[in-house]
Structure 1
């Protein structure tokens, strides 16, 4: 039995070297991107009498965002590609509607909306559409979504555009009523992304 221990140790060493050489571990890469000022993140919705649009002040996102991702055969999987959007930085066009919007999102308990990129299905030749998996957190409730976005890359600049439809009730939020119940916010809202990302 004692004579077999060096043999086992030698075999384990060989296996470790082979795994490292053949690259069986996931190829993890990192990069940094900056969100350009012309980018937009907009939450919009409708009521039974009008519509509303709440635009995010992207000056809050001036610092570079570090991305860590694994390049797979079919999907590019991201580990920490996340936008944290403070509810107070959404402007809906007036103090009253801003207050209503922040109350709707339960800002005192949950001050941020979080968008997290999970994976990207790279575009096919001659097609700028990409399949995207996203995690969206609103009012402390997280939901996963699959959608299609348009993506165009020019050098180190990446443009991503698209709209994601959500339901307030999916996040445990009750569409509010105003003016003695005569004005009702509809359940569906839309998150529009127009991101101009500069790799640095």
Structure 2
């Protein structure tokens, strides 16, 4: 979900070290301010989008990874997204969103990049393994993200998640007449540069 979304991509820096023989590599990356992480969903009457304020991620992020034959394994590629940094467009919906994520007990969403498979020739999509922790519940997912390397590394993709997978129950409003659907999407558009 939240914050989640935002850094699974750091793992994609596998592009940086493919030419080295040393199995363990280290690098630092910076996330550009124009990057976006947006969590969206629907209710039985409307839609909602919660945008994460990525300013906190301006500090360099240190990555340690091992290059394996089948994929690149990351040791410390973790993003901790503070629930309070999501803006859903208004006080009431922001409050509901924080309630949904059980923010009082679990103030952050953790995203950990586990591995990245090297891309096939001429393919922009890469397979990634992620561990997502929301409200104290961890789930491992495998997905594909689009990755392009020009001057910077650009990662785009959508993670489709279910609230029930994280033991979350959406709050009901107006005596139960407004209900949040179980499926949510985390849309990522991340730009990174090596430092």
Please say whether Structure 1 and Structure 2 have the same fold, judged by a TM-score greater than 0.5: yes
- Report the TM-score, using the length of structure 1 for normalisation: 0.85
**Does 2:173 correspond to 1:173?**
no
1:43-192 map, 5 Å? 43-155=39-151, 157-192=152-187
Q: What are the Cα deviations for residues 41-70 of structure 1, in whole angstroms up to 9, with x where unaligned?
A: 111110000010000000111110000000
Q: Structure 2 unaligned runs (5+)?
A: 1-21
**Does 2:190 correspond to 1:195?**
yes
Instruction: State which structure, 1 or 2, has the greater radius of gyration over its C-alpha atoms.
Output: 1
What residue number does 1:9 align with?
A: none
Q: CA RMSD in A?
A: 1.2
Higher relative contact order (CA 8 A, sep 6+): 2
Q: Structure 1 unaligned runs (5+)?
A: 1-25
Question: How far is 1:175 from its partner?
Answer: 2.3
- Report the TM-score, using the length of structure 2 for normalisation: 0.87
Other structure's SS at 2:28 match = strand
**Would you tell me which structure has more helix in proportion to its own residues?**
1
Question: How far is 1:82 from its partner?
Answer: 1.1
Return the alpha-carbon distance in structure 2 between the equivalents of residues 86 and 175 of structure 1: 19
Q: What are the Cα deviations for residues 9-39 of structure 1, in whole angstroms up to 9, with x where unaligned?
A: xxxxxxxxxxxxxxxxx71100000000010
Return the alpha-carbon distance in structure 1 between the equivalents of residues 191 and 143 of structure 2: 19
Question: How far is 1:129 from its partner?
Answer: 0.3
Q: How many residues align?
A: 175
Return the alpha-carbon distance in structure 2 between the equivalents of residues 68 and 187 of structure 1: 35
